Structure 1
Amino acid sequence: MKFSRRSFLAGVAAATAATVVPKGRAQAALADDSYATLIDLTRCDGCPGKDTPACVSACRRHNASRFPEPDPAMLKDYWPQKSHEDWSGRRELTERLTPYNWLFVQKVTVEVDGQPQELTIPRRCMHCDNPPCVKLCPFGTAKKDKDGPVHIDPSLCFGGAKCRTVCPWDVPQRQAGVGVYTYLDPAPVGGGVMYKCDLCRDDLARGEKPACMTACPQGAMHIGHRQDILRQAEALAVSYSGHLYGKTEHGGTATLYVSKVPFDQIDAALRQGTDSAKVMRLHSPENALEKQSTLAKAALLAPVAGVVGAFAATVSKREKNDEK
């Protein structure tokens, strides 16, 4: 995205107007045939023999053109902090979520009937039914489509990272040196852009499956209409005498896991010997939307969101018109 002085002034004018005429952000209601996904942990084997699991490789190839390319001159600390998040030198890292890796396979050893059992768990955005990242994003750049995917608009994101703060699984990851904020430097409004899985929403719109699912050699991941997937997940859990995760956790998500091993045991194993703040857990998180104090803070940020959001949207639209 390119910016000019004329675009900047137009954005400032629109931002000023936005403080006079406030507008609410609407979230699309989930359609009856919205998508959900099923991940069968009994089938997932982590692709032994491969340097990188097939689903992870497919995701990276498919989204490579959308990965951030930071401006080295804009890799500055987040005011007033004395740090910034730069993953551009660690692009090949596949053992966790990063702005360059939106899916990873988590490995954990769980003791089952006295015997150690290794589980491999594909991890990415859960695509919550009522996502706090969407409700509480002060810039209004996180959205949930009516057919299920939750996504972040990189052209409007300022990298404030509130989406990650309120996410129970700490999914969105920030890259400094990119995004609209670089053109407002040194305005203290964030520091980059947040990135995460969007369930290959453009492919879904064309009737195609997400890249990770078509690449899985074990058929461990499935996508379909929500009620169909829920029925499949429940039936699979019964057939395994197993357990279901995602149906009620955090108010429900569009990602359902089925496992023969109880998820509380998996979560305990994930936390064992690890700083729990640094591990992507499988737990029963508290819903941030139910915290009145959090909502109150979000409300206080609303005027700032109006100004910033209007500026970014106007600049983007103006530049697109200039290019025609």
Structure 2
Amino acid sequence: MTDKKNGISRRNFLKGLGAGSAAMLLPARDVAAAGNSEEELCTLLDLSKCIACGECVSACREANAPKFPEPKKPYPEMYPTSRVKVEDWSDRKDVDDRLTPYNWLYIQSAEVEFEGEVHEINIPRRCLHCRNAPCANLCPWGAAGKQKNGIVRINEDVCLGGAKCRTVCPWHIPQRQTGVGLYLRLMPNLAGNGVMYKCDRCYNRIDQGKLPACIEACPENVQTIGPRSEILKKAHELAEKNNWFIYGEDENGGTNTIYLSPVPFELLNEAVDKGPGKPGLSQVEDSMADEEKLAYAVGIAPFAGIAAGVIKAGRFLASAVGGKDND
């Protein structure tokens, strides 16, 4: 897509941002997240603008539907049966009030009183794409990883559904679908039990120079995307100007999702529904600062890389022999 007024492509514009040739951010719909910046991409969500229309949720579902799981039934029984429970959302694909393997984005709503005024705040929730993501660092199979542009992804071709990523995520974001993935070929009764799913920030759209679907569809221009330093600069300018509050800059060592709110996040955390698939908004310390986790991450890194390679090779070999990929 080309900006007719300036005669430059959106892709080239973001390249310019990464090279430092531009020191400004345009509204989200005017910025192409091409992913070529030397700096990690970050999104700013201005919660004062969100009206909970759900357009972002619908757009996310539509854009990512080809990535959604297609499980096989009946599911293999796990041994021992109490070790890994079946998590099946295949008959509940329309659930949109929490995170599921078929719903990677949902809207939390909260009504809070602050400084004598009642505020209705709507919060788009998805993976925050941590800068030092524990899911990527601690997955024993190397299924989760972080790209240079800051996107944290789970490779469904490698994931065995062990849910280590969900356990170590401070917000417990990833969700499992049983009956899909490599575990069905390796150890269907003893290991895994599915594949973990979460927002991958429309990495394929970004690779094509397009915006993530949720940003493109938003009628209120809630989100802005760009290099993290520029996003933080914009967030602090707005926060200082309006006496607002920031979330995501330091949580879990810093994320590439920055929330801006007219009310403190402590109040929002108290007001939102929390539970499975419904993350909170509490203050989160850097989980990877823990020495034991750091040591574990360093220790499993070589093994995880080898394991991922072996698993992928095995998958391709099985596909070649079988003549068809049945995952």
> Please, what TM-score do these two structures have when normalized by structure 1?
0.81
| Distance change >3 Å, CA 130–CA 33, structure 1 → 2 | same
Checking the alignment, whether the CA contact within 8 Å between 1:38 and 1:222 is kept in structure 2 is yes
Query: What residue is the counterpart of 2:39 in the other structure?
Result: 33
Shift of 1:232: 1.2
Shift of 1:138: 0.5
Query: What residue is the counterpart of 2:236 in the other structure?
Result: 234
Q: In structure 1, how many angstroms separate the alpha carbons of the residues matched to 2:274 and 2:60?
A: 28
The worse-fitting range, judged by mean Cα deviation, of 133-142 and 274-283 is 274-283
Where is the helix percentage greater, Structure 1 or Structure 2?
Answer: 1
| Distance change >3 Å, CA 154–CA 78, structure 1 → 2 | farther
Q: In structure 2, how many angstroms separate the alpha carbons of the residues matched to 1:275 and 1:63?
A: 25
- Matched AA of 2:46: D
The worse-fitting range, judged by mean Cα deviation, of 143-152 and 229-238 is 229-238
Query: What residue is the counterpart of 1:43 in the other structure?
Result: 49
| Distance change >3 Å, CA 40–CA 289, structure 1 → 2 | same
1:1-324 equivalence runs, <5 A: 32-47=38-53, 53-74=54-75, 76-77=77-78, 79-81=80-82, 83-270=85-272, 279-295=278-294, 305=304, 308-319=307-318
Q: In structure 2, how many angstroms separate the alpha carbons of the residues matched to 1:78 and 1:66?
A: 29
Unpaired runs of 5+ residues, structure 1, are: 1-29, 48-52
Q: In structure 2, how many angstroms separate the alpha carbons of the residues matched to 1:304 and 1:176?
A: 25
Shift of 1:306: 6.5
Checking the alignment, whether the CA contact within 8 Å between 1:139 and 1:157 is kept in structure 2 is yes
Checking the alignment, whether the CA contact within 8 Å between 1:31 and 1:146 is kept in structure 2 is no
Checking the alignment, whether the CA contact within 8 Å between 2:112 and 2:119 is kept in structure 1 is yes
Unpaired runs of 5+ residues, structure 2, are: 1-35
Give me the identity figure in percent.
44
Q: In structure 2, how many angstroms separate the alpha carbons of the residues matched to 1:303 and 1:147?
A: 23
SS of the residue corresponding to residue 74 of structure 2 reads helix
CA deviation string 1:106-131 (max 9, x = no partner): 01111123443221000000001100
CA deviation string 1:233-268 (max 9, x = no partner): 111112221111111111111000111101111112
Checking the alignment, whether the CA contact within 8 Å between 1:78 and 1:84 is kept in structure 2 is no
Q: In structure 1, how many angstroms separate the alpha carbons of the residues matched to 2:298 and 2:251?
A: 25
Checking the alignment, whether the CA contact within 8 Å between 2:139 and 2:164 is kept in structure 1 is yes
Q: In structure 2, how many angstroms separate the alpha carbons of the residues matched to 1:230 and 1:307?
A: 37
Q: In structure 2, how many angstroms separate the alpha carbons of the residues matched to 1:201 and 1:279?
A: 23
Checking the alignment, whether the CA contact within 8 Å between 1:37 and 1:254 is kept in structure 2 is yes
SS of the residue corresponding to residue 108 of structure 1 reads strand
Shift of 1:228: 1.6
- Matched AA of 1:143: G
Checking the alignment, whether the CA contact within 8 Å between 1:152 and 1:194 is kept in structure 2 is yes
The worse-fitting range, judged by mean Cα deviation, of 190-199 and 261-270 is 261-270
The worse-fitting range, judged by mean Cα deviation, of 255-264 and 284-293 is 284-293
Q: In structure 2, how many angstroms separate the alpha carbons of the residues matched to 1:211 and 1:314?
A: 32
- Matched AA of 2:285: E
Shift of 1:293: 3.9
Q: In structure 1, how many angstroms separate the alpha carbons of the residues matched to 2:37 and 2:255?
A: 14
Q: In structure 1, how many angstroms separate the alpha carbons of the residues matched to 2:275 and 2:61?
A: 27
Query: What residue is the counterpart of 1:20 in the other structure?
Result: none
Checking the alignment, whether the CA contact within 8 Å between 1:75 and 1:176 is kept in structure 2 is no
Shift of 1:145: 0.6
- Matched AA of 2:153: H
Q: In structure 2, how many angstroms separate the alpha carbons of the residues matched to 1:144 and 1:244?
A: 24
